[in-house]
Amino acid sequence: MSQTNIPYKIYLDENEIPSTWYNVRADMKNKPAPLLNPGTLKPLKADELKPVFCDELIAQELDDTTRDIPIPQEIQDFYKMYRPSPLTHATFLEKALDTPAHIFYKFEGNNTSGSHKLNSAIAQAYYAKKQGLKGVTTETGAGQWGTALSMACAFFGLDCKVFMVKVSYEQKPFRREVMRTYGASVTPSPSETTEIGKKILAAHPGTTGSLGCAISEAVEVATHSEGYRYVLGSVLNQVLLHQSVIGLETQAACRKYGIKPDIIIGCAGGGSNLGGLISPFMGEKLRGEADYHFIAVEPASCPSFTRGRFAYDFCDTGMVCPMAKMYTLGHDFIPSANHAGGLRYHGMSPILSQLYHDGLMEARSVEQTSVFKAAEQFARTEGILPAPESSHAIRVAIDEALKCRETGEEKTIVFGLTGTGYFDMTAYQSYNDGTMTDTIPTDEDLAKGFASLPDVKL
Amino acid sequence: MSQTNIPYKIYLDENEIPSTWYNVRADMKNKPAPLLNPGTLKPLKADELKPVFCDELIAQELDDTTRDIPIPQEIQDFYKMYRPSPLTHATFLEKALDTPAHIFYKFEGNNTSGSHKLNSAIAQAYYAKKQGLKGVTTETGAGQWGTALSMACAFFGLDCKVFMVKVSYEQKPFRREVMRTYGASVTPSPSETTEIGKKILAAHPGTTGSLGCAISEAVEVATHSEGYRYVLGSVLNQVLLHQSVIGLETQAACRKYGIKPDIIIGCAGGGSNLGGLISPFMGEKLRGEADYHFIAVEPASCPSFTRGRFAYDFCDTGMVCPMAKMYTLGHDFIPSANHAGGLRYHGMSPILSQLYHDGLMEARSVEQTSVFKAAEQFARTEGILPAPESSHAIRVAIDEALKCRETGEEKTIVFGLTGTGYFDMTAYQSYNDGTMTDTIPTDEDLAKGFASLPDVKL
């Protein structure tokens, strides 16, 4: 790699923000399997999805042939608020590691949502507005996606109803207040405002909620309210499409400065960040133009890629959503409560699942204390306090750089830094106090999750 | 103003980061009055300050003639991590206000300390390291300065001892954990670790502490520990010098794109941000090269400029620090507890005090509910959730832009956006809940503060 004239932070010009998203499905020989209607077990058609999702987003969800999809001008204008995001040359980290490797990270945390989630939130809000809808509903756990969506809705003057898992609503009030500042209504889930919420409360008085339950409430409100639709921040094909803006900018910055990545690393929960970052590079690989070593990093406590099954499963715990073919631990699988680092989803993006199944990328799982150790080292050398999710990618980037120190190889490593950890200080505290523990599910734990897999033979 | 080709966010190139700080005192006809030794009432000499402050910082504190002071390369390298900071053209806010005014803001919040404080923290840590010291001590209230200093110390491998006002230590644990992640030791003040702390605890059992007490403890530890010095994040001349990097970048961006500010606005607590932002522009004004309308914005609950006296006073409540001539409410003045928005200091930078006294700038006070209203509008239109402190400047920027709507004037308004409000969500919550109140001290309240002014006639 020629390192001449590479600044510490590469900021593309405003006019270099991509004007199209990249749809990796167009270049995949083996397309991701279609979503299934859980009743008929037949591929879902656009019309069946219309009561739940916005029309234009359904079209994007189902389109596996159009390679480049134009980004509407209004979304490009919004992107200017916080994009292009910097591709940073981690020279301080390289020095601390004493490695011949060249490390770069694409930082998506310089916006108030604190993560890359805004890239898709603004797109989904735009299409809802364009369709003339009044508002959207969604669920949120710790609140990153809900925050991003509330910012996007405030921008377009859309109503935003967020169902927030009750335990987070009560114990993590800060993101809740960010959402309220952006005008969103935030309801602790389960709530008395929906039929499903009432049922759950009756069956489980005092429950602190779950993401699965919050999804069910959000979908119920969307389908029962005039002018509302449901939106989702990960897993779906449309989300990976919008998030391709991350990879496209990374690709453009690399080309501009002659950076040739050998390894590209991203953390993987539902796959929105990893998919967005690697898509355009994967396209090069699929078309035979270049080769890259892709590494998905997941928590050892929720190891969908590394220990899951490639099978049809429900996207949500409550089984109200369609079924997707993906790497999954079973929709009943819930990671241990002591797992602090996000990335708690039982399944994985169908696109990434197919690519992994086809041997086009590697996956690794890491334990959380080693993740926070990497986070601490990164914070102290590069100045940014990373989100626990992002720190999974940092862990493996450091591991790979240390391997280069052993072998003397000058590999170029690019990883995605999805966001900041300012709302995750409780987890950092347990690390600082030395009380953080790791949990790896036993084979018996996994067997329970797999038992919830639906019996779908196609 | 010619608006052609001005991007939404102006990022200077890395090589346009200033290589010298600007010392506005060199251009002031009336220099700020010297610090006094409270015992002798004579101007403090460098030697008297050496047990407390680093040698090089003392030289900077006392130098009122050198206009440009070189920024050491190590500090310039660190600045690259988060500088140049963007000067953003607030087109979304302009549109929402329907104003012919052109609004720009210099955003200093895109770093983990969340504010501009890092600009001086890294300089002070550098000089401590260069002097061969082991570490530094300081106090912090809500924690912005302590966070910045802990980041800077981690970078240079210096020990960092922070005394954090006990009520903040307990009720605002998140910034405390950020500091710990950067390796700082954080002690709730008053503590049993110092003589002054023990005395205060004996006299006031159960006290939740104050900034004045934390300063006293930090100074005691610095002066009683081999290889330690005390550092401070505002008020001092050296701090304004380091913060001039804000104004220099703003000036360079304005020149590059032909932006000619009419009004320059900053919030004012101790003056570090305001002084840093306006210094280079004030220099132009002092040298007769250009004219600008400067506005300092302070909270109505702590109105040092607008209702204070220009007099010698102690810099701290505990009277262990030198006396400075400044606009002050008296060192015994404590703003009402319901004032959420920071900027709680009883005094003001001596440099800014002199400039204000000489009629070179305006000052305005604003009430906190109107400040949070401006913050909300800004967050929803420009996408950044601002710190309450910064929002004081937003309030007046919006007021001035609305005046332009009345008059049709196309004024160019530049304001300083010092930081983000992610650790201030409790204050936002009280605004969101409609329970926020305003407090304006009565003349009797102020009289009590003024009664604590020392009797210094020079």
pLDDT tens figures, A365-393: 999 999 999 999 999 999 999 999 999 99
The CATH number covering residue B131 comes to 3.40.50.1100
- Residue B357 Cα, gap to closest chain A Cα (Å): 38
User: Does A455 map to a domain?
Assistant: no
Contact B89, B8 (CB under 8 A): yes
pLDDT tens figures, B26-38: 999 999 999 999 8
Which residues in chain B are closer than 8 Å to A424, comparing Cβ atoms? none
User: Does A401 map to a domain?
Assistant: yes
Q: Which domain holds residue B212?
A: 23-69+115-230
pLDDT the model gives residue B394: 98
Give the residue from A174, A205, A230 where a domain finishes: A230
DSSP annotation of A293: E
A313 shares a domain with A225 = no
B300 shares a domain with B443 = yes
User: Does A458 map to a domain?
Assistant: no
> Which of B178, B384, B428 lies closest to A177 in CB terms?
B428
> Which of B111, B182, B431 lies closest to A380 in CB terms?
B182
A385 shares a domain with A274 = yes
- Residue B361 Cα, gap to closest chain A Cα (Å): 31
Residue % of chain A over a pLDDT of 70 = 99
| Cβ-proximal residues to A205 (8 Å cutoff; 6+ apart), any chain | none
A14 shares a domain with A28 = no
pLDDT tens figures, A30-56: 999 999 998 899 999 999 999 999 999
User: Does A456 map to a domain?
Assistant: no
pLDDT the model gives residue B458: 64
On the question of pLDDT at B340 being above 80, the answer is: no
Give the residue from A169, A201, A230 where a domain finishes: A230
pLDDT tens figures, B114-147: 999 999 999 999 999 999 999 999 999 889 999 9
Which residues in chain A are closer than 8 Å to B384, comparing Cβ atoms? 111-112
Which residues in chain A are closer than 8 Å to B386, comparing Cβ atoms? none
Which residue of chain A has the CA closest to B150? A380
Q: What is the average pLDDT across A262-276?
A: 97
Give the residue from B201, B230, B259 where a domain finishes: B230
> Which of A7, A8, A112 lies closest to B385 in CB terms?
A112
Question: In the numeric block, which tokens belong to residue A440?
Answer: 């790896």
B258 shares a domain with B185 = no
Residue owning tokens 């150790």 = A373
The CB-side HSE value for B95 (13 A sphere, CA atoms) comes to 8
pLDDT the model gives residue A4: 61
User: Does B361 map to a domain?
Assistant: yes
| Interface touch A383/B155, C-beta < 8 Å | yes
| Interface touch B385/A11, C-beta < 8 Å | no
Residues B202, B207, B208, B213, CA torsion sign: negative
Q: How confident is the model at residue B4 (pLDDT cuts 50, 70, 90)?
A: low
B45 shares a domain with B124 = yes
pLDDT tens figures, B367-401: 999 999 999 999 999 999 999 999 999 999 999 99
Size of interface A-B (CB pairs under 8 A): 112
B394 shares a domain with B321 = yes
Which residues in chain A are closer than 8 Å to B423, comparing Cβ atoms? 422
Among residues A322, A327, A335, A329, which one has the least CA distance to residue A311? A327
Partnered with residue A189 across adjacent β-strands are A165
Q: What residues of B are in the A interface, CB distance below 8 Å?
A: 7-9, 11, 13-14, 78, 80-82, 92, 110-112, 114, 151, 154-155, 173-174, 177-178, 180-183, 375-376, 379-385, 420, 422-423, 425-426, 428-429, 431-432
Among residues B346, B301, B300, B299, which one has the least CA distance to residue B327? B346
Q: What residues of A are in the B interface, CB distance below 8 Å?
A: 7-9, 11, 13-14, 78, 80-82, 92, 110-112, 114, 151, 154-155, 173-174, 177-178, 180-183, 376, 379-385, 420, 422-423, 425-426, 428-429, 431-432
Neighbours of A447 (CB within 10 A): 11
> Which of B78, B81, B379 lies closest to A112 in CB terms?
B379
B120 shares a domain with B105 = no
User: Does B321 map to a domain?
Assistant: yes
B215 shares a domain with B313 = no
With 0-12 / 13-18 / 19 or more C-beta atoms within 10 angstroms meaning exposed / middle / buried, residue B172 is: middle
Which residue of chain A has the CA closest to B157? A380
A222 shares a domain with A298 = no
Which value, to the nearest 10 degrees, does the dihedral of the CA atoms of residues A351, A353, A358, A360 take? Answer: 80
Which residues in chain A are closer than 8 Å to B420, comparing Cβ atoms? 112
A274 shares a domain with A345 = yes
B155 shares a domain with B87 = no
Which residue of chain A has the CA closest to B375? A181
| Interface touch A177/B111, C-beta < 8 Å | no
pLDDT tens figures, A180-239: 999 999 999 999 999 999 998 999 898 888 888 899 899 999 999 999 999 999 999 999
CA A256 to chain centre: 27
DSSP annotation of B186: E
Question: In the numeric block, which tokens belong to residue A450?
Answer: 């797999």
User: Does A75 map to a domain?
Assistant: no
Count how many domains chain B has.
2
> Which of B11, B111, B385 lies closest to A181 in CB terms?
B385
- Residue A438 Cα, gap to closest chain B Cα (Å): 19
| Interface touch B112/A8, C-beta < 8 Å | no
User: Does A136 map to a domain?
Assistant: yes
Partnered with residue A179 across adjacent β-strands are none
Neighbours of A407 (CB within 10 A): 10
Which residue of chain B has the CA closest to A84? B9
ipTM of the complex: 0.95
pLDDT the model gives residue B3: 54
Contact B354, B62 (CB under 8 A): no
- Residue B428 Cα, gap to closest chain A Cα (Å): 7
Determine the length of chain A. 458
Residues A190, A196, A201, A203, CA torsion sign: negative
What are the backbone angles phi and psi of residue A333, rounded to the nearest 5°?
Answer: -70, 130
> Which of B92, B181, B380 lies closest to A379 in CB terms?
B181
